[in-house]
Amino acid sequence: MLVVSLIVAALCLIQGCAGSNFYQDFDITWGEGRAQIQNNGELLTLSLDKASGSGFQSKNEFLFGKIDMQLKLVPGNSAGTVTAYYLSSQGPTHDEIDYEFLGNVSGQPYILHTNVFTQGKGGREQQFYLWFDPTADFHTYSILWNSQRIIFSVDGIAIREFKNMESNGVPFPKNQPMRIYSSLWNADDWATRGGLVKTDWTQAPFTASYANFTANACVWSSGAVSYCGLNSATASYNNDQSWQGEELDYANQGRMKWVQENFLVYNYCTDTNRFPQGLPPECNV
């Protein structure tokens, strides 16, 4: 694997690489062969069977960036499975920006679960149905993370925004560099209808696929930002740093409102039963 990775990296430096290359940008971290990089680095697959799931992580750490990844989720009866794709730092006071795709029985929709952790505290869940079948083809799931906001987007449509509200006493992830992680694992104790529907292992192995990763981001190295630009797979530097001040314009706010009105199935900011002493402060801003 290392030899192949070095060969691919050398070819990219010589010839240039038009798209993402998983050999260059990610390490497979667990799964004993259940995670595979294919098609000369253009495709990565994770699989899950009764013995184990699998996962990978980015070679680089980032402090702010615009991250895109295309995913095609586990098809058919995926109940009990979770495909997680997220940014995270390390330690007990870690920051984290989450996508989790909760599988379902055949014909029932996936639930897209989002969350934001700051200084080790999460509990900021919003969940959505999707307006398409995420198992039929690849779709782009994006995270914009700058000093003022986090925006979750699907195929370029914003679905959620978490703003920097430090002036209201709400912590915001801005000091801890984060890697990109993804995993496919069994969570049938909670993932589907609160654990009522269990994983059907006769359908295993379950497989999720990844393609066309792009990170226009600030790379962290040796305790500081080393450079801001596109991920190494493009073999090019990008001076466009407009994402660092990016915000939702009027049209994109309208698209996000459409998603929230039609596809939002859970919002912690409206769950008064969960917060009898009052909603979190960011919910009242």
Catalytic annotation present for 42: no
Write the single-letter amino acid at 156: G
Catalytic annotation present for 125: no
DSSP H or E run through 15: helix 2-15
Residue 166: both structure tokens together:
């430090």
- Say which of 42, 96, 246, 247 is annotated catalytic: 96
**Residue among 101, 177, 191 nearest 139 (CA):** 101
The rounded Cα 241 to chain-centroid distance in angstroms is: 21
Q: Is 73 exposed, middle or buried (0-12, 13-18, 19+ CB in 10 A)?
A: buried
- Say which of 32, 100, 161, 261 is annotated catalytic: 100
3-state DSSP call for residue 245? helix
Do residues 3 and 22 make contact, with C-beta atoms less than 8 angstroms apart?
no
- Active-site residue set: 96, 100
